[in-house]
A and B are shown apart, each in its own frame.
Chain A
Amino acid sequence: MSTSTIVGTRDDEQVPPAGGQRRRRRTSHQVEASAHHRGPMWTVAGYAGMVLVVLVIAVPLFWILLTSFKERGDIYVRPAQWWPDPPTGQNYSELTTRIPFFDYVRNSVIITSATSVAKIVLGVISAYALSLLRFPGRSIVFLVVIAALMVPNQITVISNYALVAQLGWRNTFQGIIIPLAGVAFGTFLMRNQFLSLPGEIIEAARLDGAGPMKLLWRVVMPMSWPTLVAFALITVVNEWNEYLWPFLMSDDETTAPLPVGLTFLQNNDGVTNWGPVMAGTVLAMLPILVLFLFLQRQMIKGLTAGAVKS
């Protein structure tokens, strides 16, 4: 039984698709109506604002993409080249030959998926315990977890290093993954989400004889889907970009993830050839982008499912 099928069933039972659509259409009418009400000036201003924001975000990304297809001599020129001329795939082939790029990708995937799964699972079950189960010392445990959130990881890095090095885990995946798997943030976020659920529903489920596990999977989780997806997304992006700890732990391409690997394209004393660096950045961005587009849909689906409950 995977979670997604359960959610799917709930969707089908409780949110008839037609109803969802109708509601959405109604909201969009309201938005349109109010836009008319405000007059064309506001609409124009709105669009101008939107275009501005898109430009601010998109131009640097576009520039990265563009540079990744430029020849070395064309990167720093004035006036700037707004289209690679001639375009070249050279940077991409250099990227894969100058550093063991695919080794880094493999390591990134392993580290990101393992830490993310660990973080999400630990986050959800610990938050569940801290919000909906009653046991002695609950608030103290929660305080300790929150306290952990207050300590920046730069401070704990040295002592973590000492511990892991003594275990002989340097340059191993467990050495990188296990210390990263702690989840104060997830616990905090999910606990608050669980607490915000209407107590009546929880109570009703309990009266109907749902045990703790069933309560979590069938009642609490489906209603918390958007928060969970957001949390998952933040976690995955963070882990994918994690630099300091993997850098300290890894010695070479057997365990080092992409962010560490890409730095070896840069020249620390002299002129960096930015073409391959940009190519690497583009390729490192892609998986996260795809994941985001995919999860975003889930998030919206979850939002409408949540709207039904009250």
Chain B
Amino acid sequence: MNEFSRRGFLGLAGAAGVAGLAACAGTGTSPTTGGGGGSSNTIEFWSNHPGNSKPVEQQIIKAFEAANPSLKVKLVDAGKNYEEVAQKFNASLAGGSLPDVVVVSDVTWFNFALNKQLSPLDELLSTAKIDTSDYVDALYNDYNLDDKHYALPFSRSTPLFYYNKDLWKAAGLEDRGPKDWDEFLTWAPKLKAAAGSDKIVMELPDGSNYLDWVFQNIVWGYGGAYSKEWTPTFSDPNTVKAGTYLQNLAKDGYLKLSKDPAPDFTAGIVGCSMMSTGSLGGVAKDAKFPVGTAFLPGDGNCPTGGAGVGIPANIPDDRKKNALKFIEFLTNAQNTVTFTQATGYMPVRKSAVDLPEEKAFLEKNPNAQTAIEQLPKTRSQDNVRVLLPGGGARIGKGLDQIVQGQDVATVFKGLDAESQQVFDSQIKSKLGA
């Protein structure tokens, strides 16, 4: 040991240094074709298993492999939520080994489509002679950019109006949701009196947890919108009216925002809320009171949400063909029923509700029935929320400020300007290109 030379030590130290540098070096000079990895008869499916759906996904994959013995599907844990899947997909775009099928949410798909990282499906669909008219229109058209579709609907949800039936009874209200938001305002004092001082009439998620998603319902209900096509319309008098409505609810002590209203609602502290249909199973299981569900107030004012499945652009054509085959199978009437019954999502096919097992299921679960009946009344979301980078977060922040008491018109004017600027700088030049 004593003979260990200084030169030897230099070598060691150098090696350590190199190892340290290796941790932060390495820019990929990725091969453009194939993206490495993945043979043509193995379909890699990157999913976050929306709604704890891994067992169901595996079940559907098994059925697919039985029907197509030459193909294998590899299910990959790609993250805990849609944002993480997008992150992982982004990383793979930089460095190869692309998946064949990837879950993209209503917020994440557009950026990939815009940058031509997802394949437009229309041509593939027509070559494979797949009829898309059976997909629920609002859901199918959510993935439309320049008359091309970049994903097929998979785990789709909508918000629902949840209410505590016991409280409704105590307040002497009919057992139904409000017809519109004006009616709710006449109910609110009664509900507050019945609820007592330590309970809250309505709780909604805050601006960093999709308040901007459910609030679209109120905006549309008053005839406003976040945007018309690509033009932000926050300053529209009707949109401002909806904002003022929200502010007044909070000012009068009827409304509270929280990170997640579901726990408070199931604990019986909150009278009603607007939450995803995905929460249905959990809320029904946890609550110790009868849970009521209703359409969102208004008619045809329900935003869609959730995720679809897309195919990366830079993979060989035969892989794309196989991937499409799998997607079609994953979202066919039979499987969308299997999937949605296990998770609480919406069936994405019109014909799904006619299947006997779905009929039996709905009879037993009237709350799920509400969600499905609401489906034809859904409306695709406004562009500035789902398609502009950071749109949801930007609007959510603005809504938080309104609820805290800042002037509605000023905040919305700011949102108009910001949204327009983001559109001009990041989207405009790429559209139609």
Interface residues of A (CB under 8 A from B): 72-73, 75-78, 122, 125-126, 129-130, 133, 135, 141, 144-145, 148, 151, 153, 156-166, 168, 170, 178-184, 187, 209-214, 247-248, 250-253, 256, 260, 263-264, 266-273
Contact = CB atoms under 8 A, between A and B. Distances in A.
A148 B77 contact: no
B28 A271 contact: no
A187 B20 contact: yes
B282 A271 contact: yes
B10 interface: yes
A19 B263 CA distance: 58
Interface in B67-100: 74-77, 79-82, 84, 87-88, 90-92, 94-97
A210 B4 CA distance: 11
A269 B88 contact: no
Contacts of A148: 20-21, 23-24
Interface stretch (B44-52, B215-223, B295-303, B390-398): B44-52
Contacts of B281: 270-271
Give the most central of A76, A151, A270: most B CB within 10 Å: A270
B50 A271 contact: no
Q: Shortest 10 CB-CB distances between A and B: which pairs?
A: A162-B28, A271-B282, A182-B23, A162-B95, A163-B26, A129-B13, A263-B80, A270-B278, A269-B278, A126-B16
B288 A125 contact: no
Interface in B1-36: 1-4, 6, 9-10, 12-13, 16-17, 19-28, 30, 36
B339 to A, nearest CB: 13
9 contacts: A125-B16, A129-B12, A159-B94, A160-B23, A163-B26, A166-B28, A179-B22, A183-B20, A212-B6
B425 to A, nearest CB: 22
Contact of B13 (A130, A180, A251, A268): A130
B24 A144 contact: no
A159 B17 contact: no
Nearest to A160: B26
B286 A165 contact: no
A272 to B, nearest CB: 7
Interface stretch (B246-254, B266-274, B368-376, B403-411): B266-274
Nearest to B283: A271
Interface of A is mostly: helix
Nearest to A121: B16
B187 to A, nearest CB: 23
A170 B26 contact: no
B155 interface: yes
A160 B92 CA distance: 11
A246 to B, nearest CB: 11
B3 A178 contact: no
B54 interface: yes
A252 B51 CA distance: 18
A270 to B, nearest CB: 4
Give the most central of A76, A266, A268: most B CB within 10 Å: A268
A221 B93 CA distance: 45
Give the most central of A183, A209, A269: most B CB within 10 Å: A269
A259 B258 CA distance: 26
Contact of B23 (A135, A156, A168, A252): A156
B79 to A, nearest CB: 7
Contacts of B77: 250-253, 256, 260, 264
A252 B90 CA distance: 18
Contacts of B17: 126, 141, 144-145
Contacts of A213: 1-2, 4
Give the most central of B13, B92, B96, B278: most A CB within 10 Å: B13
A278 B310 CA distance: 34
A26 to B, nearest CB: 40
B243 interface: no
B88 A145 contact: no
A209 B2 contact: yes
Nearest to A1: B1
Nearest to A178: B22
B262 interface: yes
B119 interface: no
Contacts of A72: 285-286
B288 A73 contact: yes
B24 to A, nearest CB: 4
Contacts of A75: 286
A273 B263 CA distance: 10
A148 B10 CA distance: 20
B164 interface: no
B54 A264 contact: yes
A270 B49 contact: no
B391 to A, nearest CB: 19
Contacts of B74: 251
Contacts of B80: 263-264, 266, 268
Contacts of A157: 91
Interface string B394-425: 00000000000000000000000000000000
A247 B13 contact: no
A273 to B, nearest CB: 7
